Amino acid sequence: MVNLRMACHVSAVALLAALSLTGQDAAKVARGKYLVEEVGKCQECHTPRLDSGEFDKTKWMKGAVLNVAPIKPVQGWHKTSPDITPEGRLWERWTAEGIKKYMTTGLNPKGRPADAPMPTYKLTAEDADAVVEYLKTLK
């Protein structure tokens, strides 16, 4: 009887812990989505557009041909952006840690910055973590 009561107590505690963790994760993902979509505006360059000019939501952050070009030539200008979802080659090559580090330093795992027009972001570790947690939810 005592054992049963203890077992119930333990599982209730475990359940509560799991629930609060889920709440924390959800808040982190929501923060990451906000940083990506409303602050960094990553979709402007990393999501392709339909002929109507609207984003192709089925290819969210899957890499695109840019719809802008510099007026004067810019060295190293890229006409395309890579897939930044976990399905892209970048995650395989850099891992989530590499992407997090890149978002805090602006430097890739080889210590080099990206070519134009990729902006250099120097996010806090906490914000970079949130960005990566959000990107992880993209298929």
Q: By the criterion CB under 6 A, which residues form the site for ligand HEC?
A: 36, 40-42, 44-46, 78, 81-82, 84, 90, 99, 102, 108, 114-115, 117-119, 121, 131
Q: Which amino acid makes up residue 61?
A: M
Query: Of 51 and 70, which CB lies nearer to ligand HEC in the complex structure?
Result: 70
Nearest approach in angstroms of CB 73 to ligand HEC is 15
Please identify the residue of the shown chain whose CB is closest to the bound ligand HEC. Answer: 40
Query: Of 48 and 99, which CB lies nearer to ligand HEC in the complex structure?
Result: 99
Whole-angstrom Cα Rg for the chain = 20
Half-sphere exposure of 31 (CA within 13 A, CB side): 15
- Report in angstroms the alpha-carbon separations of 77 from 62, 71, 74, 89, 90: 19, 12, 6, 21, 19
Q: Which residues contact 26 (CB under 8 A, 6 or more apart)?
A: none
Q: Which residues contact 43 (CB under 8 A, 6 or more apart)?
A: 36, 37, 55, 60, 61
Nearest approach in angstroms of CB 98 to ligand HEC is 9
Query: Of 105 and 108, which CB lies nearer to ligand HEC in the complex structure?
Result: 108
Query: Of 22 and 80, which CB lies nearer to ligand HEC in the complex structure?
Result: 80
Nearest approach in angstroms of CB 126 to ligand HEC is 15
